[in-house]
Amino acid sequence: MNKLKLYVLALTALIVCSAKADEGMWLMQLMQQQHSIDLMKKQGLKLEAEELYNPNGVSLKDAVGIFGGGCTGEIVSGEGLILTNHHCGYGSIQQHSSVEHDYLTDGFWAMSKDQELATPGLKFTFIARIVDVTDLVNEKIQSKEITESESYSDGFLRKLAQELYKKSDLNGKKGIVPQVLPFYAGNKFFMFYKKVYSDIRMVAAPPSSVGKFGGETDNWMWPRHTGDFSMFRVYADANGEPAEYNAANVPLKTPKHLSISLKGLQEGDYAMVMGFPGRTSRYLTVSEVKERMESENEPRIRVRGARQDVLKKEMAASDKVRIQYASKYAGSSNYWKNSIGMNKAIVDNNVLGTKAEQEAKFAEFAAKENNAEYAAVVGKINEAVAQTAPVKYDFTVLTEVFFSGIEFGSPFMVMENLKKALEEKNDSAVNANLESLKQVFADIHNKDYDHEVDRKVAKVLFPLYAEMIPTEKRPAFYQVIETKYKGDYNRFIDEMYDNSILSNQANFDKFVKKPSVKAIEKDLATAYSRAKFDRLNVLREGFGTLLDDLQLLHKTYLRGLGEMKLPVPSYPDANFTLRLTYGNVKSYSPKDGVDFNYFTTTKGILEKENPNDREFVVPAKLKELIVNKDFGRYALPNGDMPVCFLTTNDITGGNSGSPVLNDKGELIGCAFDGNWESLSGDINFDNNLQRCINLDIRYVLFILEKLGGCSRLIDEMTIVE
């Protein structure tokens, strides 16, 4: 039997000794083979495996889906009502907001279905089917139809997905999107049939003073008092199938929705989270952890911090700018602070030492097995990382500054094509490229872009890039700045932002009216954009085949680690696919003399209140409800109102919005964050410190009913007292 098949057996081996009970983002389709369901039951689960995931019928997984492009949402009524985080719905709330209708500040409550707002571009995705295609991929490798490296490639995976989809009974069904992904570093492959709904409407969102209470100060922190939720609804055609927005569409009649428990929770209670964690890197070597810290996190911290200082100042000075940049700032700041916390936690939690111990144990295992491939693999990974680390640093700085930080630019390829068409006097090609240019201009100068704010960002980031990257490694426009502009960044930026073809409507109209080769050749934004992409391509070439080599080395390393751990099964790194994690409600003590309780109440909201700090403003009506203890049936037995709670569930980005379920599969909360002390968790799970911060479902219902006046939504739900 070959090594690959041995490893696959290892992945599905019977558990005879316990792993860390709370660690692991488990594939639901492997629950019974890996017997993780047995451990869940030992910890308190009262459901059978088929009630969680049933490939041949309806189960809890059918009430959970992908919200937008990077979060999780759950169905909480038979009419397609979605619960997710406020920060997941934030972009959509911002999309609907204006100075006249400031839903970010005031909140939004649809008092009837006809008030629910269509949200173009927003999608909700269910997982219709999961199929193991490992044997098929391995057959293609063994027959030399593809190489091992090609098995990871997007091109091959997309082609395989389409081939399998066309042969399936789902071919031609509305909304079906097929996807094949590698797991365990390419030791297994699964095919996902996704069903995507594109008519999603905004239903309810608390004001940001509730949904983002604590703001960036409290982000990743405990204790927490953030009402981080929003609600949307899936609409479908008359047959319940996906359809683009149409006034005739109706709420989706869902085959499964989550029941909601008001029974409350106690420390030690069983809790599980079902959702779509984005990315973890639990199987890195010491050298790769250092690379993450120094080549990715450190430059990201520096660049985003500088940009956010500009945005924060401009947003504070203008409500218009605040609304325009609210979602951009929140998205940037979230992983800026995450990178800071991760680097700190890696040091504080001795992650490098833990990884070194793992490598030492693996070396002993390789020697014991007399396996030369295993014995050499870590050294080969380290050699490759020594070459990728400096390139990755340059790549991170370039992309953070010129692709994520600064928004203005020019579609240089369209300009090149237009220039060629003008030279050849090809009128049809000229007109086609001008139409493309009109669309690009509209995309740049959209309602969420401010040219003057972006100019100020550029004036900070251009010189910062020069501080971080040596002269010989900078894009070509830096040479122009040094020679023609005598090193004056502001002068170069002002000329580009004032005079380029796409700078403003007047410039653009003038060019479109009389396009010329000379104008294109003189255009600073076009030269700037071409140069930044030229530099990006140089860096991509700098990786060469190293990234492919590293993938294959990791395939070997993970196979060996799996064999070393036997009979305990392994779980794959997160890759934004459906996972289940289980644990318990639990407090924690991050350091000597500090003990954190497992839940918070509305008392903490008033304790944190600061009318002069936008992050800690408490709405007058909410304050009145808290002071009067007007909590209705959602209060604790002592009359207090719960807000958030902690569990030991293993989550990461992408799990935002995931349902937190009790031992009966009833909804008790909504996951929205991790804790500061364990932000190294994407690299190394710490069983003592890792906590999942969750919003108590009772606080959600309290806000809906008492603050939002949306009892109609609660009436839709299945409530268990």
| 122-137 pLDDT per residue, tens | 999 999 999 999 999 9
Q: Would you state the structure tokens that stand for residue 270, as one six-digit string?
A: 């069983």
Q: Would you state the structure tokens that stand for residue 92, as one six-digit string?
A: 């959509």
**pLDDT value, residue 8:** 46
Beta strand spans in 152-208 (E): 176-183, 188-197, 199-205
**pLDDT over 70 (residue 3):** no
- Residue found by looking up tokens 């954009």 in the block: 529
* Residue of 96, 90, 91 lying closest to 116 (CA atoms): 96
Catalytic position from the list 22, 36, 77, 87: 87
Q: Would you state the structure tokens that stand for residue 97, as one six-digit string?
A: 């907001």
Task: Establish whether 656 is a catalytic residue.
Answer: yes
Q: Where are the domains of the chain?
A: 1-123+198-282+573-721, 286-401, 405-543
Q: Indicate the average pLDDT of the chain.
A: 95
CA distance 130 to 351: 34
What are residue 659's DSSP bridge partners? 670
Q: Annotate 303-371 with three-state secondary structure.
A: HHHHHHHHHHHHHHHCHHHHHHHHHHHHHHHHHHHHHHHHHHHHHHCCHHHHHHHHHHHHHHHHHHHCC
**pLDDT value, residue 712:** 97
**pLDDT over 80 (residue 281):** yes
Do residues 655 and 679 touch, judged by C-beta distance below 8 A? no
Do residues 67 and 84 touch, judged by C-beta distance below 8 A? yes
What kind of architecture, by CATH, is found in domain 1-123+198-282+573-721? Answer: Beta Barrel (2.40)
Which range is least confidently modeled, 36-40, 43-47, 372-376? 36-40
Helix, strand, coil % over all residues of the chain, rounded to 5: 50, 15, 35
Catalytic position from the list 102, 199, 218, 228: 228
| 642-698 pLDDT per residue, tens | 999 999 999 999 999 999 999 999 999 999 999 999 999 999 999 899 999 999 999
- State yes or no: cis peptide before 567, omega within 30 of 0: yes
**pLDDT over 90 (residue 350):** yes
**pLDDT value, residue 6:** 42
| 150-188 pLDDT per residue, tens | 999 999 999 999 999 999 999 999 999 999 999 999 999
DSSP code of 44?
A: T
CA distance 696 to 634: 10
Task: Establish whether 87 is a catalytic residue.
Answer: yes
- Provide the pLDDT confidence category of residue 12 given band limits of 50, 70 and 90: very low
Q: Which amino acid is at 160?
A: L
| 51-63 pLDDT per residue, tens | 999 999 999 999 9
Express as a percent the part of the chain with pLDDT over 70.
97
Which range is least confidently modeled, 28-37, 164-173, 367-376, 560-569? 28-37
- Provide the pLDDT confidence category of residue 14 given band limits of 50, 70 and 90: very low
Do residues 397 and 296 touch, judged by C-beta distance below 8 A? no
What's the predicted TM-score (pTM) here?
0.92
Task: Establish whether 318 is a catalytic residue.
Answer: no
**pLDDT over 70 (residue 483):** yes
- Provide the pLDDT confidence category of residue 21 given band limits of 50, 70 and 90: low
Do residues 107 and 205 touch, judged by C-beta distance below 8 A? yes
**pLDDT over 50 (residue 23):** yes
Catalytic position from the list 77, 500, 503, 656: 656
**pLDDT over 90 (residue 4):** no
| 81-112 pLDDT per residue, tens | 999 999 999 999 999 999 999 999 999 999 99
Q: Would you state the structure tokens that stand for residue 499, as one six-digit string?
A: 């005079």
In a 13 Å sphere around the CA of 110, the CA atoms on its Cβ side amount to 18
**pLDDT value, residue 567:** 85
